[in-house]
Chains A and B, each alone.
Chain A
């Protein structure tokens, strides 16, 4: 497992590095000096990102938000002072394991593994949500396109379906896509969009 260790707290970061180096099967990498986090993640492709910051730092959060948006990865954060407001923002930015630690480091291995598991579960839920949204949008577009065809061509529901299906087959596309394109071509895209909400 490749782990990117990005630190702003050199002292604890060295201790973290020593701990992580002792974990078998774990490869550590670091950003180049002054390299933004998002670029280091894109360049190195780590499976887990550990961010070790000295104190709650809202600029640091910006980097995390960008890195997460561009290349979602499990992000583990170590901070040395508790700040509930900051924690909420960090988690919203994409951190999936927030740890307040002092000079004595806890065993980091289970923390890293738990972060990966939480991240995977969360990504699964996100994917599920996106699929559900897509399915709803597709159904709304089909219903709107069907209604529009029935109205403008004076045909029944079965014929409207047949028309859309023929066009989908001719174009090798899903019926939902064909319906959305038809609505857009007719300048009715908003109609289906409105139903989506």
Chain B
């Protein structure tokens, strides 16, 4: 019997592909049995991956990059052979702050302008807004939106770090006035009356990459066939998780005490829904090349971490970040599954405002917009 692959995750809806892969025997079928390890925080997960207590993890791309570059503890060689999900994060504010801003289903720039006025006129100290980790999509997109709205993210708000599962309690106790976290934590805080969701990070960068699969490079180098089969199983799992018809059963499976141990309705509300326009508060797992590890997106995370002062975006860091992402491994698994493979490993990020077709073999992949809220296109070298 082959040794079990230990994969870490946090209690979030977008861990669905690995949870479903394990519960439905997809890993087993590929001969790569997986043991899941639910971790309390991103820091725990990154530490366990770095010291070799896990072979892989459902990771934040920015945290995978920072860990691999040695920007949090000693450098831990990793590789990112696949994306796990798009979107699914929300900014949830205390009801009175949401009221003050006059939040509604709005354009992010209009919301940002209102927030800017409220903060400018505020007599109390800047509000504490929590993110799940400094090296998170949440933090970087929140900063991006604040900066695009003319708000200095380092002065106008106080950014703190709280693990996703503790956000609701922190908001209810008013230790913070808002948080940005993955589903279902925003929805649960809203259901408990502790907060109101005012913005999806998917409105800041439409259909943005959210979680990725990070593997320990030393382990992956020793077991290339295992990695290949693991990716094939994950591709199958992603397609099941993307199927709106499977959402009720999937929510039931994910809600269980031996999985996420969270309310079924809250999970259900963050799984893909049938319909033309994807809701940015829900995750996408397989469609629109969600599982493809775009090097251009890795470079965006690096650039934004540089802009936030978390690390230096140097030519050496860019080279290491490109090498960390492994679209070649994804392509081999996708081809073996009979799925289309994109022809390029980078794309202009933010260039698409409407649905478009991505050149891929054997046939093109239907894509959704990838525009940023300020209309900029990310330039990378």
| A interface residues (Cβ-Cβ under 8 A, vs B) | 131, 135, 139, 142, 157-158, 161, 164-165, 168-176
B200 to chain A, nearest CB (A): 27
Among B29, B246, B252, which residue has the most Cβ atoms of chain A within 10 A? B29
Whether A173 contacts B253 in the complex (CB less than 8 A), given A135-B4, A165-B24, A168-B23, comes out as yes
Q: Please tell me if B112 contacts chain A, counting CB pairs below 8 Å.
A: no
> What 1/0 flags go to B226-258 for Cβ under 8 Å of A?
000000000000001000001011101100001
Indicate if the CB atoms of A175 and B33 lie closer than 8 Å.
Answer: no
Look across to chain B and name the residue whose beta carbon is closest to the beta carbon of A172. Answer: B252
**Chain B residues whose CB sits within 8 angstroms of the CB of A142 once the complex forms:** 25, 28
| B interface residues (Cβ-Cβ under 8 A, vs A) | 4, 23-26, 28-29, 33, 35, 240, 246, 248-250, 252-253, 258
In terms of DSSP, what is the predominant structure of the interface of chain B? helix
**Chain A residues whose CB sits within 8 angstroms of the CB of B252 once the complex forms:** 172
Look across to chain A and name the residue whose beta carbon is closest to the beta carbon of B259. Answer: A174
In the complex, 26 of the A-B residue pairs with CB atoms within 8 angstroms, ordered by the A residue number, are: A135-B4, A135-B33, A139-B28, A142-B28, A157-B29, A158-B29, A164-B25, A165-B25, A165-B26, A168-B24, A168-B25, A168-B253, A169-B24, A169-B240, A169-B250, A169-B253, A170-B249, A171-B249, A172-B248, A172-B252, A172-B253, A173-B253, A174-B23, A174-B253, A175-B28, A176-B25
Whether A175 contacts B24 in the complex (CB less than 8 A), given A135-B35, A139-B33, comes out as yes
Look across to chain A and name the residue whose beta carbon is closest to the beta carbon of B26. Answer: A165
B261 to chain A, nearest CB (A): 14
Indicate if the CB atoms of A161 and B253 lie closer than 8 Å.
Answer: no
**Chain A residues whose CB sits within 8 angstroms of the CB of B249 once the complex forms:** 169-172
**Chain B residues whose CB sits within 8 angstroms of the CB of A157 once the complex forms:** 29
CA distance A91 to B33 in the complex (A): 35
In terms of DSSP, what is the predominant structure of the interface of chain A? helix
**Chain A residues whose CB sits within 8 angstroms of the CB of B24 once the complex forms:** 165, 168-169, 174-175
A161 touches which of B4, B29, B35, B250 (Cβ 8 Å): B29
A155 to chain B, nearest CB (A): 14
**Chain B residues whose CB sits within 8 angstroms of the CB of A171 once the complex forms:** 249
Among B4, B24, B33, B258, which residue has the most Cβ atoms of chain A within 10 A? B24
A175 touches which of B4, B23, B248 (Cβ 8 Å): B23
B22 to chain A, nearest CB (A): 8
CA distance A173 to B26 in the complex (A): 14
Indicate if the CB atoms of B25 and A175 lie closer than 8 Å.
Answer: yes
A189 to chain B, nearest CB (A): 19
**Chain A residues whose CB sits within 8 angstroms of the CB of B250 once the complex forms:** 169
Given contacts A139-B28, A175-B24, 14 further A-B contacts (CB under 8 A): A131-B35, A135-B33, A142-B25, A142-B28, A158-B29, A161-B25, A165-B24, A165-B26, A168-B24, A168-B253, A169-B249, A171-B249, A172-B249, A172-B252
CA distance A165 to B24 in the complex (A): 6
CA distance A170 to B29 in the complex (A): 19
